[in-house]
Amino acid sequence: MPSNNGFVKAGAQEIGEIFRRFQEHNPSPATELKAPNYFTLLVSVVLSAQATDKSVNKATEALYKIADTPEKILELGEDGLISYIKTIGLYRSKAKHVMGLCRMLIDEYGGQLPRKREDLERLPGVGRKTANVVLNVVYGEPTMPVDTHLLRISPRIGLSAGTTPLQVERDLLECIPAEFMNHAHHWLILHGRYVCTARNPKCTECIIGDLCKHNGLE
């Protein structure tokens, strides 16, 4: 049924079918960020803010060959880190964040990634979305990191009428069946990146095209 603002919500059976198809099409989705361990995954997610995964992977390929722990990053120093990541947008502030989170990980967490959300969000450069990525990918928790793709396509598909990351996150956690939660955000990110694109979405190639509500899309 359409809401007051014209948004049409997908039904529970439709949502289940959407994610069943995603699972059938791609049983084991994963982040496209290339990282040799969980620490470097955290660094890459911090670096990926307002940047593409491809640009981050290109910059970190050489970096992670010589510095893949908090201790090694600190040994490089801020200027040394910048020499590797200067092709990434906002690299100066991101370098400060990475150096700060490395120091905090060593001083307060024994060099390991903390398990609790509040501890992750204390780390410099780590907000709710990044914490959700760590909780989901590293610790297998059913969290929902909402990036620009999820914020854009969730209303379009009929999963959420939310206009903020937190609203969309809460709606998705509520409506997506538990059996799909571990991979749900990866399926949605990949769908938004390659099929349900901002410009010229590939509706004729879409595996959920008959279920999508096309909210705001002609």
Active site positions, annotated = 129, 147
Residues contacting 57, CB < 8 A, separation 6+: 32, 33, 34, 44
Residues contacting 196, CB < 8 A, separation 6+: 153, 156, 157, 202, 206, 212
Cβ-contact 46, 120 below 8 angstroms: no
For the record, the structure tokens of 12 come out as: 């529970």
The angle subtended at Cα 216 by Cα 213 and Cα 218, nearest 5°, is 85
Q: Mark out the alpha helices in 67-176 (DSSP H runs).
A: 70-85, 91-109, 117-120, 128-137, 148-157, 165-175
Residues contacting 149, CB < 8 A, separation 6+: 188, 189, 191, 192, 193
Question: Which residues, listed in sequence order, are joined to residue 71 by a DSSP beta bridge?
Answer: none
